[in-house]
Structure 1
Amino acid sequence: MTRFVLVAGAWLGAWAWDEVAAELRAAGHAAHPLTLSGLAEKRDAPAGQRTHVRDVVDEVERLGLRDVVLVGHSYSGVPVGQAAGLIGDRLRRIVFVDANVPVDGEPDLAAWPSDHVRRAIGANGGFWPPPEADDFAGQDLTDDQIGRFTAGATPHPGATLTEPAVLNRPLGELPGTYVKCLLDGEEPPPAAAELLESGNWELVTMATGHWPMFSRPRELARILHEAATDR
C-alpha cells in the first residue's frame, strides 16, 4: 500500500481530490488530501511560502507516514517540491500534476508571465481572487465541474506566490513523475524540462485541461497508481 499526500493548486482545498482519493482507496492505497493554510476550511490561517512547505511536512510527520508519494498540482508543486527534500527516506516519489516547479531562491511568480497576478494581489488585500466561470474555457470541464470549482474556491494568499523557494536538495536527485495536461500547453515548463533530463523523472501526458482531478479523476488516479507501483 502506498500513502499518497494530495495537495491541490491555488484557490483549492482537500475537497478538490474527493474523486481521485476515492479511486486510490479503491485500488488499496491510502490517500490523504491536504488543505494548505489560508485556503478552504483553513482560510483564516495566515500563510506564506514557508507555511505551506511546513503544512506538507507536518502532515507526513503527524500521520507517521512512510513510503509516501507527494502529489502537487499547479501552484502546490512549489511547496511540495520543497517538502520532498525535508522528509528524507519517508519519500517514495514526487508527482507534479501540471505543476509549477520550485527554483531555489525564486518565487513562484518568477517562472511565468505573472504581472497580472501581482496587480490582482495588490488590488485585493494581498489575495489572488479565484477565476470566474469564463476563465475555464477550453479546459475540458463541464458546467457542473466549473460550478463545483467556483463554489468551493477561496482567494489564494499572495505571499505564498511572492516569497522565494528554498530547496535543501536538488529535485533532480529525487524520483519523480511530471504529468503534463496538454490542453493547458503541450510543453512542460523549463524547470520541469530540466528535471526530465535528470534520469530520475518521467513524463506522462493527459489529453485534458489544467484541473484533471475534476475533468479526468479516474485517469489521474490510474496514473498516480502506476507512478507509485511501477518501480
Structure 2
Amino acid sequence: MAEYILVAGAWLGSWAWEDVARDLRAAGHGAHPLTLSGLADKQDVPAGQETHVRDIVDEVERLGLRDVVLVGHSYAGIPVGQAAERIGDRLTRVVFVDANVPVDGESFASMWWQGQTAFEALLAEGDGSWWPLNAAEFDGQGLDSEQVARIASGGTPHPAATLTEPAVLERPLGELPATYIKCLLDGDEPMDDVAELLKSEHWRLVEMDTGHWPMFSQPRELARILHASVRVRA
C-alpha cells in the first residue's frame, strides 16, 4: 500500500481532500491531505514558492513516509513536481490532477494563459493576493450547487509570492514516474508543456469526464484512479 500526500490547488486547504482521503484509507492506503502555508488554516503564515516546496518535503520527512505518491491539483502541481525530485527513493509516483507543472526558471504567473501582465493585474486588484472565484465562475465544471458553495465558501486568498517566484528543477521532470489526470470539462487537451512531458516513457495520461475540481465532483472516481496509479510501473 502507498502513502498519499494530497495537495490542493489555489485557495484550498487540506479540507478539499476529505472524500478522496476517506476512500483511499478504505482501500488500505495512508492518506495525508496537506494545507500549504498561507492558505486555509495556515493563511497567516508567510509563503513563497520555496515555502510550498518545503511544506511538502517536510511533511514526508515529519511522518517518516516511504512508498510516497505525491498528488498535486491545479497550481499545486508546481511545488509538488519540485518536491518529487527532492524526496529521492521515498517517491513511488507523482500524480498531477489537471495541474500546472513546474518549468525551471518559470513561475505560475509567467505561464498564465493570458500572460504574466494580465495575471499581475489580477494580483494588483486583489491587494497582492489572488482572490477565490465567485460561484458563477464554476459553471460548466460538473459541480452541483452544494459542491460550488463548499468550494467558494472554503477558499482563502492565495499568497502572491508563491505564484510569481520561479520553480527550480535539478533534473528533467520527464524522468520522474508520473500520471497526469486531464479533466475534460476544463479543456480536452493537456497544456503544451504537459503534452511534451507525456511523450516520456515514464509518464501516463488518464482522462476524467468532469471539471477542474474532481475531488468535489467525482471524489470516488478520483480515488480509484489514484489507487490504480500505484500499480503502474514506468
Task: Tell me the TM-score normalised to structure 2 length.
Answer: 0.97
Per-residue deviation, 1:123? 2.2
Give 1:110 shift.
Answer: 1.9
Aligned position for 2:36? 36
Q: How far apart, in 1, do the equivalents of 2:197 and 2:222 lie?
A: 21
| Residues 4-27 of structure 1: per-residue CA shift (max 9 Å, x gap) | 000000000000000000000000
Corresponding residue to 2:152 among 150, 168, 193: 150
Aligned match of 1:192: 194
The runs of 4+ residues in structure 1 deviating greater than 6 Å are none
Deviation per CA, 1:30-56: give whole Å up to 9, x if none. 000000000000000001101000100
- What is the match of residue 18 of structure 1? 18
Q: How many residues align?
A: 231
Contiguous gaps of at least 5 residues in structure 2: none
> Which of 209, 218, 221 is equivalent to 2:220?
218
Alpha-carbon offset, residue 119 of structure 1:
1.1
| Runs of 5+ consecutive residues of structure 1 not aligned to the other structure | none
The structural deviation recorded for 1:193 is: 0.9
2:119 partner amino acid: V
CA distance, structure 2, for counterparts of residue 2 and residue 78 of structure 1: 22
SS in 1 for 2:10: coil
Matched residue SS, 2:230: helix
Deviation at 1:117, TM superposition (A): 3.0
Q: CA RMSD of the aligned region, Å?
A: 0.9
Equivalences for residues 107-122 of structure 1 within 5 A: 107-111=107-111, 112-114=113-115, 115-122=117-124
Do the aligned partners of 1:117 and 1:128 also contact (CA within 8 Å) in 2? no
Q: Which amino acid aligns with 2:154?
A: G
Q: Distance in 2 between matches of 1:197 and 1:58?
A: 31
Alignment partner, residue 130 of structure 1: 132
Looking at structure 2, the residues matched to 58 and 113 of structure 1 have their Cα atoms a distance apart, in angstroms, of: 33
For 1:169 and 1:57, locate their aligned partners in 2 and report how far apart those are by CA, in whole Å.
Answer: 17
Q: Give 1:102's aligned residue.
A: 102
One-letter amino acid matched to 2:114: P
Q: State TM-score, norm by structure 1.
A: 0.98
Percent identical pairs in the alignment equals 67
The CA deviation at 1:229 is: 2.4
